[in-house]
A and B are shown apart, each in its own frame.
Chain A
Amino acid sequence: MAEQTVTPAAAAAPPAEPAPPARSRFRLDGAFFRDNGVYLALVVLVVVNLVITPHFATTGSLRLQLVQVAPIIVVSLGMALVIGTGGIDLSVGAVMAMTAAVIPLYLGYGFIGALLAGLVAGLVSGLLAGTVISRVRVQPIIATLAIMVGGRGIANIVGGEIKSIRNDGFRELGSGSVAGIPWVVLVAVVVIVAVWVLMTRTTFGRYLMAIGGNARAAELAGLPVARVLTTVYVLSGLLAALAGVLLVARNQASDPTRLGQLVELTAITAVVVGGTSLSGGQVRVLGTVAGALLMQLITFTLVAHDITNSVAQMVQAVIVVLAVYAQVGTRMRRRSRA
């Protein structure tokens, strides 16, 4: 946290903490664009779409966008927590697949039973990743890469082919709504608020950022580093599983082979585009949400104008690199200025 970024977290911090000096002077420099670029880009893209995309501003279209982006937001927030610790979680897609594989097996126990079974898959996977990373100190990328491949295999073995889900609970969750707001979106909103509270109002959030800033220092200061790290990976696993549940509910089907493929990349992109640094020490909750919305809107815009999926993928790849480059670039420039 050496750098003085005005994160939503910092802005909402208790008044006991003095505001970082960068806040007092408003400067339209690289750092400003790095911290707020995602919101600007989102606004610009919305305006562009209002002009060039027919039927963009209809309720149906907006609703569809939100329903589609909701699971991505949920996964991305878990990823944001992990990245805040300086780690990475490549296993989220496989966790979603495992959740999808488990759900049909426990439908006999009703909606709640199947839902819990799905979440347990995420819990176990996150616990394994967290333990190996925090206690044995294996690099996060390798530990979660192993789970990514192994988990997808387990999902295929357990789940097999695509199965349709016939259950009132899942149908309601996937396509029902309260007061006009789809359940899926509501779940995402609850997760956003919960993660925001976790990061801004709890000791756990402070510990998480301290560990991401400097794990060694955090350890020497007596913080429960291993426990916090394990919990973070468990949370990421649980949120990925929840996203899997939402997707299964929305599709009314479980497809362990395809569900969640390349989601890890989309989630990482959302987090990075949202202004969270890959080197850890900071978690931008609202930025991540905006990042997920932005990526969804970019894909939508391309597809709505008959640009194929493959090109959309390439565009996404370029955006990832540019977003990370912009971050590393401004940080380097700032360091050289100081």
Chain B
Amino acid sequence: MSTTATPEPTLTPTGARPQRVQLVQRVQRQGALVVLVLLCVYASFQFDTFASGPNVRSIALQASFLAVIALGMTFVIFTGGIDLSVGSVFALGGVLAAWGSQHGTAVAVLLPLAVCGAIGLVQGLVIAKGGLAPFIVTLAGLLFARGLLLFISDEGATVYKVPAGSAFRGLAQNSLLGINYPIWIVIVLFLIGGLVLHRTSYGPTVLAIGGQEDAAQLMGLPVVRTKVLTYVASGLLAGLAGVLIASYTSSGVPIIGVGTELQAISAVVLGGTLLAGGAGTVFGTLVGVLLLQVIANVINQVGSLNSNWQDVVSGAILLGVVVLQRYLAGTTRR
């Protein structure tokens, strides 16, 4: 930061350090991208079907639901918070959308968004105004949303179907230029996310809160409003992902979304966002989501491994990445 005077004496002893710091930061930011590229290269040599059009499309489509959720989680983690409710809210959104589709496409889209946004709003208010720890509030939110979803679906016994011929099915099943709508939606949402982060006052405020909340407060930044907005956005996006999955599967399955919060958090952290808050990128999250999806795809291709391995691998990856982050943070601090 020193822009004035005495460049010579200070530079010499510390000369090696900025390079090292840069290297560490690059690993932190782009590590997931490198791993993703390497894994894709390996998988396309190892499995004939990996690089085929249908498989790539399936990976992108599968990733799109998680990507929508992870985008919301990214901003929550930027503020230094966490949202454990997204998995349940995602499932709730799906069930509400499937139920609502009986009353028209508008209801199928707006009802879940309204309910999930409201859950986000309540969580945000309790966290920002009440000063409660985000994890406990959203853990309660996880339980509440799951309870509400079971309540709607007769304790999980009823799976609502989207009526045949309903326009709502087209939302996730149709495609434009050979690319499914959900993938377009993800592209648009991430572009908006990037713009919000870099081109509005909200973005820096979010990062400032995550960096040091007290300081952000003292600087007169709208801490409460920004935090509430962030949790509302997270709820809305999780609900939207639910809408998309309901449209894609033409039904509201009550049991989905268990452990999705961990996948979303993993994607965000893999993408180089610091869990402590205050730093990270939106694009990195997208890379993180793709990396998780490619890993899942490769596990499927191996064949002898069942889907439970996905949980084990995501758990191990998350643990590995946070441990690495800590070590990297340790090297840059000095």
Contact = CB atoms under 8 A, between A and B. Distances in A.
B143 A153 contact: no
Nearest to B318: A146
Interface string B116-137: 0000000000100011110111
Given A317-B147, A321-B126, A142 B139 contact: no
Interface string B280-313: 0000000000000000000000000010111110
Query: Per DSSP, are chain B's interface residues mostly helix, strand or loop, or mixed?
Result: helix
Contact of A316 (B130, B143, B306): B143
Contact of A314 (B136, B137, B144): B144
Contacts of B146: 313
Contacts of B130: 325, 328-329
Interface in B245-283: 259, 262, 265, 269, 275-276
A262 interface: yes
A154 B140 CA distance: 26
Contact of B133 (A145, A278, A310): A278
Interface residues of B, number: 43
A147 interface: yes
Nearest to A156: B308
A150 B311 contact: yes
B115 interface: no
Interface residues of A, number: 44
Contacts of A139: 275-276, 322
Contact of B326 (A137, A149, A262, A268): A137
A296 to B, nearest CB: 16
B114 interface: no
Nearest to A158: B308
Question: Chain A CB within 10 Å — which of B151, B322, B326, B327 has the most?
Answer: B322
A150 B312 contact: yes
Question: Chain B CB within 10 Å — which of A264, A272, A314 has the most?
Answer: A314
Contacts of A197: none
Given A149-B259, A321-B140, A328-B131, A138 B314 contact: no
Given A88-B135, A136-B326, A265-B143, A311 B312 contact: no
A309 B322 contact: no
B56 interface: no
Contacts of B319: 132, 138, 143, 146-147, 150
A324 interface: yes
Contact of A152 (B82, B259, B275, B322): B259
B259 to A, nearest CB: 5
Given A145-B262, A324-B133, A310 B310 contact: no
B90 to A, nearest CB: 15
Contacts of B318: 142, 145-146, 149
B141 interface: yes
B214 interface: no
Nearest to A153: B311
Given A146-B262, A314-B143, A329-B130, 19 more contacts: A136-B326, A143-B319, A145-B265, A146-B315, A149-B311, A149-B314, A150-B312, A153-B308, A268-B139, A309-B150, A310-B148, A310-B155, A311-B151, A313-B146, A320-B139, A321-B140, A325-B126, A328-B130, A332-B131
8 contacts: A138-B322, A145-B265, A149-B311, A278-B133, A310-B151, A310-B155, A314-B143, A320-B139
Q: Which 9 A-B pairs have the closest CB atoms?
A: A150-B315, A153-B311, A313-B147, A310-B150, A317-B144, A310-B151, A314-B147, A153-B312, A317-B143
Interface of A: 88, 132, 136-139, 141-143, 145-154, 156-157, 262, 264-265, 268, 272, 278, 308-314, 316-318, 320-321, 324-325, 328-329, 332
